[in-house]
Amino acid sequence: MGVCGSGKSTIGEKLSEIMNFRFMEGDSFHSETNIKKMSMGEPLTEKEREPWLKSIRKEIDRNLEQRIQCVITCSALSRKSRGILGTNRAEIKLIYLYAFQSILMNRMAKRKNHFMPADLLRSQFEVLEEPELSEALHVRVDMPAQEVTDFIIQELKKF
């Protein structure tokens, strides 16, 4: 979890590859309407996010029921969002990727072929309710992706 530009997809893909887990990109659960709105630089409302979050929750529940280990990326910025996703369950390990806004803005400016414009980063920080340390593994992402991935894998071994 984390704001746009925090490396959810990059780190998630690396983790799933190393751990031999299924990978699912949370953005792929968005409706065309939501993607179009964000592409125009308009942040989603909580009401607009809810169906997206519920569809991810269904996927989480299905994977848990079938005992499929997976990495699913999702911004999950608010406590309400994380509640809808059910991230408080023991079978789920929430990983919060974070860095200073200026670092993430710089990253986003360099991205190509992504529907989320850099201008929406500010609105994501406004909505962000950082998870408690007891709720998520907090991981700084202002270092190379491989270092971030290595750190996460070492921390996950403790659980």
Q: Is residue 72 part of a domain?
A: yes
Q: Is residue 1 part of a domain?
A: no
Our count of domains for the chain comes to 1
Model pLDDT for residues 22-74, shown as the tens digit of each residue = 999 998 999 999 888 888 888 888 899 899 999 999 999 999 999 999 999 99
Q: Is residue 145 part of a domain?
A: yes
pLDDT at residue 118 in the model: 58
Full-model pTM: 0.89
Assign residue 98 the CATH number of its domain: 3.40.50.300
**Structural domain of 97:** 8-156
Looking at every residue in the chain, the average pLDDT score rounds to: 90
DSSP per-residue string spanning 22-73: EEE-GGGGS-HHHHHHHHTTPPPPHHHHHHHHHHHHHHHHHHHHTT--EEE-
Model pLDDT for residues 80-100, shown as the tens digit of each residue = 999 999 999 999 999 999 998
Is residue 61 within 8 A of residue 54, CB to CB? The reply is no
Q: Is residue 22 part of a domain?
A: yes
